[in-house]
């Protein structure tokens, strides 16, 4: 299996190089040269396996330059003893034909754990294959959950240094506390003035800065990343959609017409993983893209025009407060017949003018796969309240966006095929917002808010969040976006 760049398909690298390098030199994203297929017999075998077995099988199809022993070591290192009941991605039935794919049972209580517990193992194995002896510098821009999950995954991993940037006013108090209290000798956290797109653009600018790359090469310190646009982060996410299908089969669900997948997304990575699973043979009927008030993706699916020149809203679902959806580039590459020049042109237009428009043919292909919808903060709170009252299921603010969009989709289309809704974070990460949505007074002390939510819902506070009580923040860095380059160089001792 070789990997090519979305902006220059003449670039060809092995899986280890794609994971170690992160992004192609001209700024394109790595995609598999072909998408592997799973047969009916394959799914029959996968159905009998636990999550570790399923992950090893799926990853083995994409990481063909890894040995079976290496994949086994990576997968077991990521998923053994790190998730509740050793079940990283359990399905929970909400009502007939509607299932919640709970992706927040890991060490940071968010879906990013499914990838970011595995990525350090994949990255260190990859670097040993293609660049032995190097110290990898991992730069991360986060809208909340990726930062903590990456910090937790990479803390004290040998020959790595991880630097996380987050928007100062664009994460929840609990997300901020999770990052600023992170332990580990190789970690650094910094807030920036601005929003997530400013942080993401700053990291991308560093990655494509040839002078900076040369400065670091003298110290044998290449860049990589844990952001969702990097292949080593995306490929583990495919696994849980394959696994969800196997679980539905095991439960005897009627899937003759397939099933829909609903994903709350800002950067388009989580839903793109579902697309890859569909291409592999998982019978996903519709991919339903759920946005919050920053509904740039919903508008794109509707019109074929991607336009980030619009107001940016800070919402109750901060991990989706994004106007530049990096992973969409991979989907565009597939929709335009893998025409790298067309994709490069669209990305140049986005960088220069903040917008681009796809052809009618590409829009038709997009709409054949995806439906889109959005939900504002009031709708988010109403959904949390209504779903809890009707089913006793407590959702976080991001999952509530997906639930709201799905109900609107079902009402508008009368589509009643089974649905799997990605539940992307524990409600305890956003306790204040959830309590407010339930119409309850929010205590000033965030840990009192956790206890109140536990009492109301009859569920325990997750141990990783409970453990934050009494921890003193280690990091209080704050810079402007344009200072990110010098901040990184100073930390690394490069002048």
- Cα separation, 164 vs 139, in Å, equals 6
For the chain, how far is it from start to end, CA to CA, in angstroms?
Answer: 39
Tokens representing residue 103 in the block: 């992706």
Tokens representing residue 389 in the block: 């009252």
- Cα torsion angle, 291, 226, 332, 59, sign: negative
Distance of alpha carbon 85 from the chain centroid: 23
Given the DSSP bridges, would you call strands 136-141 and 160-167 parallel, antiparallel or unpaired? parallel
Q: Is 112 a catalytic residue?
A: yes
Centre a 10 Å sphere on the Cβ of residue 92 and count the other Cβ atoms it contains. 10
Residue 293, classed as helix, strand or coil, is coil
- Cα separation, 323 vs 196, in Å, equals 9
- Cα separation, 232 vs 466, in Å, equals 30
Centre a 10 Å sphere on the Cβ of residue 413 and count the other Cβ atoms it contains. 12
Helices (H), strands (E): how many in the chain?
A: 22, 16
Tokens representing residue 197 in the block: 């797109």
Distance of alpha carbon 326 from the chain centroid: 11
Given the DSSP bridges, would you call strands 187-193 and 477-480 parallel, antiparallel or unpaired? parallel
Tokens representing residue 274 in the block: 């579902």
- Cα separation, 483 vs 39, in Å, equals 51
Residue that has been written with the tokens 């108090």 in this structure: 173
- Cα separation, 266 vs 321, in Å, equals 7
β partners of residue 349: none
Identify whether the C-beta of residue 371 lies closer than 8 Å to the C-beta of residue 286.
yes
> How many Cα atoms within 13 Å fall on the side-chain side of residue 284?
31
Q: At what angle do helices 119-130 and 145-154 cross, to 10 degrees?
A: 60
- Which residue of the set 112, 148, 204, 278 is catalytic? 112
Q: At what angle do helices 446-457 and 173-180 cross, to 10 degrees?
A: 120
Q: Just list the catalytic residues.
A: 112
């Amino acid at each position: 299996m070789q990997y090519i760049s979305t902006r220059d398909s003449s670039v060809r690298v092995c899986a280890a190089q794609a994971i170690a390098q992160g992004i192609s030199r001209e700024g394109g994203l790595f995609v598999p040269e072909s998408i592997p297929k799973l047969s009916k017999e394959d799914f029959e075998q996968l159905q009998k396996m636990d999550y570790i077995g399923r992950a090893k099988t799926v990853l083995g199809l994409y990481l063909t330059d890894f040995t079976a022993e290496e994949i086994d070591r990576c997968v077991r290192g990521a998923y053994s003893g790190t998730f509740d009941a050793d079940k990283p991605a359990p399905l929970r039935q909400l009502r007939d034909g509607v299932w919640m794919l709970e992706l927040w049972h890991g060490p940071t209580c968010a879906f990013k754990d499914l990838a970011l517990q595995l990525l350090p193992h994949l990255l260190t194995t990859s670097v040993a294959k293609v660049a032995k002896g190097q110290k990898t510098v991992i730069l991360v821009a986060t809208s909340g959950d990726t930062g903590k999950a990456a910090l937790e995954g990479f803390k004290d991993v040998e020959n790595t240094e991880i630097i996380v940037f987050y928007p100062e006013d664009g994460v929840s108090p609990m997300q901020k506390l999770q990052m600023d209290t992170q332990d580990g000798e190789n970690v650094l956290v910094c807030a920036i003035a601005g929003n997530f797109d400013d942080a993401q653009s700053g990291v991308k600018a560093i990655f494509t800065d040839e002078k900076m790359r040369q400065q670091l090469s003298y110290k044998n310190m290449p860049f990589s990343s844990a952001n969702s646009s990097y292949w080593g982060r995306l490929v583990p996410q495919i696994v849980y959609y394959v696994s969800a299908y196997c679980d539905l089969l095991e439960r005897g669900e009627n899937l003759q017409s397939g099933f829909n997948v609903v994903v709350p997304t800002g950067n388009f990575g989580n839903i793109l993983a579902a697309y890859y699973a569909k291409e592999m043979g998982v019978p996903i009927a519709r991919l339903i893209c759920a946005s919050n008030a920053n509904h740039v993706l919903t508008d794109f699916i509707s019109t074929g025009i991607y336009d980030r020149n619009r107001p940016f809203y800070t919402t109750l679902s901060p991990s989706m407060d994004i106007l530049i959806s990096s992973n969409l580039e991979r989907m565009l590459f597939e929709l335009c017949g893998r025409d790298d020049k067309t994709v490069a042109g669209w990305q140049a237009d986005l960088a220069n003018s903040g917008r681009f428009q796809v052809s009618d043919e590409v829009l038709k292909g997009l709409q054949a796969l995806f439906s889109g919808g959005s939900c504002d903060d009031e709708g988010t709170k109403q959904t949390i309240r209504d779903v809890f009252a009707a089913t006793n299921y407590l959702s976080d603010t991001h999952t509530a966006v997906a639930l709201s969009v799905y109900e609107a989709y079902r009402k508008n289309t009368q589509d009643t095929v089974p649905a799997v809704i990605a539940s992307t974070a524990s409600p305890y990460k956003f306790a204040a917002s959830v309590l407010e949505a339930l119409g309850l007074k929010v205590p000033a002390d965030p840990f009192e808010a956790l206890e109140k939510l536990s009492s109301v819902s009859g569920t325990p506070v997750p141990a990783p969040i409970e453990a934050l009580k009494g921890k003193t923040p280690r990091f209080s860095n704050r810079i402007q976006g344009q200072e990110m380059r010098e901040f990184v160089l100073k930390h690394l001792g490069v002048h």
